[in-house]
Amino acid sequence: MTAPRPLTAHPAAPLRGTTPVPGDKSISHRALMLSALAIGETRITGLLEGEDVLRTAAAMRALGATITRDQAGVWRVSGVGIGGLAEPDDVLDMGNSGTAARLLAGVLASHPIVSVLTGDASLRRRPMARVIEPLGACGAAFTCRAGGKLPMAIRGPVHAMPLAYRLPVASAQVKSAVLLAGLNARGLTRVEEPVATRDHTENMLRHFGAEVVVEPDGAGRVITLAGQPELTAADIVVPGDPSSAAFPLVAALLVEGSRITVQGVGINPLRAGLFSVLWEMGAKLSVENERTEGGEKVGDIIAEAGPLVAVETPPEITPSMIDEFPVLAVACAFARGTSRLRHLGELRVKESDRLAGTAALLAANGVRTEIDGDDLVVHGLGGPPPGGGQVATLMDHRLAMSALVLGSAAAAPVRVDDAAFIDTSFPGFAGLMTGLGCHFA
Ligand code: S3P
């Protein structure tokens, strides 16, 4: 364990400037996994070089893919083909990353090898039963700690069965795990999701040549994948991560006199819920230069400071902004009126209990909040909250960044006990934010 890195955000100067953000985390994990299963060499540009994604790269190497880094963000992957993964000779440590662990469990479940997955103390507390349950039906055997926790051993069958599964919770990770297992099963794998979740796996499977059919089904979708396709290497451009862009954008909305542009941000509608909620709150936020890069919509997003009003988020929007609620709650603290962020039960099983962590972050800085069932109620102050608090980041990068955004716009500095976990998703966060006008010490 490395020593904790405390960091304090002091009131910022008006944020100004134009900046890109690092590559999308979800897309980066998928790019490495699918290119490792494709035949030929894939060039990935804009890969997120955060710790979570570096864990996936190391795991895919341990499973036999050849992965090299040409220059910052530019990587080459020579895949082994579906069914071609080698048994790793050591435990695969997925660090802090739930996405890496759950998606990889899907890949491994249908390969006839034995593997063991583990992670850091945060990941070892997170539920894996949600993937073990559906993946077992392909013939894989799982052994894990009590309560479905890592470490977990997986023994894949010689001939995997295709899967048919209806998701009990809206989870792109579980959907993706099932689809990835279906890659090495003969026949059709079918996933029903009651609410649509991010579709990067489906998009990228098609990009590599798999046959994926997506049919609307009420608020959700039915996804069918034809098993054992030949995936062919295909270059990938990773867009900027909207979940990372959220931090400088919200900071600019809150610090008086700010106006910034974040370039090349992914605006896939299944990821862009935060932006529509902020519009509803009266945020001066606009998207320019919309284009499609590598099969994903991207745009440049401009944020300008101004007053905000409270909002109630409808339950069906939750999956499209699942990682953005801590920073949205910070925005709600500055808004006029009481906000209710609904249907946040899944936040309890993120890198930390993010529902409790977000409420505690605000309470420590003079903002009244309540947790009402699965809802978070934030009593907005109609202006900057007092700040001055200490925030426990609980091994959770998004709580750390949200607290530092709050401290940039509050009346008094906000201190986080450990900013180290920010590197899992947003390497260079402090430099980028201080380059725009923030004052971190
Ligand atoms: C992700 C899905 C979401 C999200 C996570 C990334 C993905 O998790 O919170 O950061 O890449 O599929 P769930 O599937 O658990 O909602």
Tell me what the pLDDT averaged over the chain comes to. Answer: 98
Q: What is the tens place of the pLDDT at every residue in 206-241?
A: 999 999 999 999 999 999 999 999 999 999 999 999
Q: What is the predicted pLDDT for the residue at 274?
A: 98
Would the CB of 268 count as within 6 Å of ligand 1?
no
**Is the predicted pLDDT of residue 45 greater than 70, yes or no?**
yes
What percent of the chain shows pLDDT beyond 90? 99
Annotation marks residue 323 as catalytic: yes
Token representation of residue 383: 């202006």
SS3 371: strand
**Is the predicted pLDDT of residue 246 greater than 70, yes or no?**
yes
Q: What is the tens place of the pLDDT at every residue in 327-383?
A: 999 999 999 999 999 999 999 999 999 999 999 999 999 999 999 999 999 999 999
Token representation of residue 208: 């590599």
Would the CB of 425 count as within 6 Å of ligand 1?
no
Give 133's contacts (C-beta < 8 A, 6+ positions apart).
Answer: none
Q: What is the predicted pLDDT for the residue at 295?
A: 80
Q: What is the Å distance from ligand 1's center to 321 Cα? A: 10
Give 311's contacts (C-beta < 8 A, 6+ positions apart).
Answer: 277, 280, 281, 332, 335, 339
**Is the predicted pLDDT of residue 397 greater than 90, yes or no?**
yes
Distance CA 357, CA 348 (A): 9
Q: What is the tens place of the pLDDT at every residue in 137-158?
A: 999 999 999 999 999 999 999 9
Instruction: Decide: pTM greater than 0.85.
Output: yes
Mean pLDDT over residues 33-56, rounded? 98
Classify residue 55 as exposed, middle or buried by CB count within 10 Å of its CB (0-12, 13-18, 19+). Answer: buried
- Ligand 1 pocket: which of 173, 223, 396 to mutate (most atoms <8 Å of CB)? 173
* 411, amino acid identity: A
Q: What is the tens place of the pLDDT at every residue in 153-199?
A: 999 999 999 999 999 999 999 999 999 999 999 999 999 999 999 99
Quickly tell me which residue has 């996936």 as its tokens: 56
Q: What is the Å distance from ligand 1's center to 405 Cα? A: 22
**Is the predicted pLDDT of residue 204 greater than 80, yes or no?**
yes
In the set 24, 52, 93, 323, the catalytic residue is: 323
Ligand 1: which atom is nearest the Cα of residue 243? 10
What is the edge-to-edge ordering of all strands in the sheet holding 220-226? 164-166, 188-193, 220-226, 212-217
Which residues are registered as beta bridge partners of 261? 18, 302
Q: What is the predicted pLDDT for the residue at 121?
A: 98
Distance CA 352, CA 73 (A): 28
Ligand 1: which atom is nearest the Cα of residue 172? 14
What percent of the chain shows pLDDT beyond 70? 100
Mean pLDDT over residues 60-83, rounded? 98
Is residue 236 within 8 Å of 45, Cβ to Cβ? yes
* 290, amino acid identity: E
Would the CB of 346 count as within 6 Å of ligand 1?
yes
Would the CB of 396 count as within 6 Å of ligand 1?
no
**Is the predicted pLDDT of residue 294 greater than 80, yes or no?**
no
Is residue 75 within 8 Å of 54, Cβ to Cβ? no
Show the DSSP H helices in 258-324 as ranges: 273-280
Question: What kind and span of H or E run contains 356?
Answer: helix 354-363
Q: What is the predicted pLDDT for the residue at 1?
A: 54
SS3 175: helix
**Is the predicted pLDDT of residue 117 greater than 80, yes or no?**
yes
Residue among 81, 56, 10 at smallest CA distance from 387: 10
Quickly tell me which residue has 């180290």 as its tokens: 420
Is residue 257 within 8 Å of 14, Cβ to Cβ? yes
Would the CB of 323 count as within 6 Å of ligand 1?
yes
User: Chain-centre distance of CA 242, in angstroms?
Assistant: 9
CA atoms within 13 A on the CB side of 303: 31
